Amino acid sequence: GWVGIANEIGDPEAFAGRLGMLIRLATVDIGSWVLPLVALALIAPRAGIGGRFVHYVVASNWASAIIAWLMLPSALLRLFLPSTSEISSLVSLFLFALSALLTWRMTNASIGKGAAVGTAVFVGMFIASLLVLFGLQALLGIDIPDSTTG
């Protein structure tokens, strides 16, 4: 979550540093959620899924709430185990794969135009979300430390 990452990245002793990092992380999270939806709203009528756009947005919002709960064990493990723990990494990877599968299924069901169109929307939204995520992180100066950089 934001708090754990803000504590890892920012200075744990400086409240202002953590608060600033928390605000930047929130901006990245909200941007990577909203901006791909705005892009899809612009191209949905041309792609033939304009009539299903609202269904997709509502379903994806509800699915994101369920997926947040699904990812809770991973977040709890990271609180109690070091971030380099293999168990924590395996649980996170498994839960990510499960959430991707469930999101793909939700996308296919909510778009209702067949597996090919649903998969194209899923892949497009996934790539758009990653591009916005990495772009906003770079723009806002968020550098996630890893085991080599500390």
Whether the per-residue pLDDT at 12 is higher than 70: the answer is no
**Cα dihedral angle (16, 20, 21, 26), rounded to 10 degrees?**
140
Cα–Cα distance, 112 to 3 (Å, whole number): 38
Least confident of 8-22, 54-68, 135-149: 8-22
For the record, the structure tokens of 19 come out as: 């608060």
Residue 53 to residues 8, 50, 76, 89, 111, Cα–Cα distance (Å): 38, 5, 34, 34, 7
pLDDT digit string, tens, across residues 89-111: 899 999 999 999 999 999 999 99
Query: C-alpha 87: how far from its chain's center?
Result: 21
Q: Where are the domains of the chain?
A: 2-139
Quote the CA–CA distance of 88 and 100 in Å, as a whole number: 18
When pLDDT is averaged across residues 72-99 and rounded to a whole number, the result is 86
The per-residue pLDDT for range 17-68, each reduced to its tens digit, is: 677 888 888 999 999 999 999 999 999 999 999 999 999 999 999 999 999 9
Phi, psi of 145 (to 5 degrees): -70, 145
